[in-house]
Amino acid sequence: MRFSRILPAIGAGLTSITAAGAALAEDGITGLEAVGKPHLEGVGFQPASSELARDQQWLDGMLMYICFGVTILVMALLLIVILRFNRRANPTPARFTHNTPLEIIWTLIPILTLVVLAAFALPILFKQVETPTADVTIKVTGNQWYWSYDYPDLGISFDALRVDGSTKVASLGDSQPMGTPEIHDEIADMKLKALGYTPDEFLLAADNAVVVPVNKNVVVQVTASDVIHGWFVPALAVQHSAVPGRIGELWFNVEKEGIYFGQCTTLCGKDHAYMPIVVKAVSQKVYDDWVARTKQAANGTSAPVQVAQSN
């Protein structure tokens, strides 16, 4: 747990000295739609909000049609065999053992199917692993049990923890009630509301969000400080294991402003379920303002920003 969460005043003072621009629990960005968010009894993918996600969801759909066709073909062949070659319909079975044309056909069809799959799947895979030139670079470090984020080109760094009743929210003042960690109660809902979340986003909400501009290439360097974690944002179709001592890399380009939720996907200990990820995609102007305000405030809460809404 972060020192500033235990002793806010001392933590804030140390942060202003040691790190240029550490964001507190309010990033000041409101008015965003929750785009990438799981829903109760939801089925299927979250809305594709990046080129990678759109390609992968299209590929998944195409593969499902092929799998459906193969299944129908195999079932049809089985039914033909059952109905035409049972003991009653075919009391005297043929005794040949080879049929060269048939064997060529059932060898060529799987080969051609795999060639078709590779022709579509490999370009999508290569696009995912070939990192473009970064417009924004973020280093993500997995810890037990929270995430640390660094914008190395901007001198901004912060931690992101789950939001519950024990979260210290600067805007609520020093007299705010403190609840029990990991428990969803009225105090937790008050903290969620203060940070711009809704009650159903409990366990999805983080006290600090990753802020990125839309339509820009964001390169994320992923590592860990203790055990293996997994950084995953479904709506952006990005996931990478965070391995201690190694730097992994992924990239994405968000096409729509909004909030995108994610989770740690690798079992990492007792609080594995409490490592939420929040990505806020905003316009370039709002992003530049967030960067400037965060760097200037260093250890304070910057003035809120209301994202424009379309009528």
Summarize pLDDT for 72-98 with one digit per residue, the tens: 999 999 999 999 888 888 888 888 888
Give the residue from 68, 67, 64 showing the smallest Cα distance to 45.
64
| Residue ranges of the chain that CATH labels 2.60.40.420 | 3-49+132-301
- pLDDT band at 294, cuts 50/70/90? confident
Q: What is the DSSP letter of 303?
A: P
pLDDT at position 298:
58
pLDDT at position 65:
93
- The string of pLDDT tens digits covering residues 153-162 is 998 999 999 9
Amino acid at 73: L
- The string of pLDDT tens digits covering residues 12-71 is 333 333 333 333 446 778 889 999 999 888 888 999 999 999 999 999 999 999 999 999
- List Cβ neighbours of 240 (8 Å cut-off, separation of 6 or more): 220, 222, 230, 231, 248, 249, 250
Q: DSSP per residue over 143-204, as a string? A: ETTEEEEEETTTTEEEEE-B-STT---GGG-TT-----TT--SHHHHHHHHHTT--GGGTTT
| Residue ranges of the chain that CATH labels 1.10.287.90 | 51-129
With 60 as the cut, is the pLDDT of residue 300 above it?
Answer: no
With 80 as the cut, is the pLDDT of residue 128 above it?
Answer: yes
Q: What is the pTM of this model?
A: 0.80
Higher confidence at residue 150 or residue 170?
A: 150
H helices present in 2-50, as ranges? 3-6, 8-18
Q: Which fold has domain 3-49+132-301?
A: Immunoglobulin-like (2.60.40)
pLDDT at position 297:
67
The class of domain 51-129 in CATH terms is mainly alpha
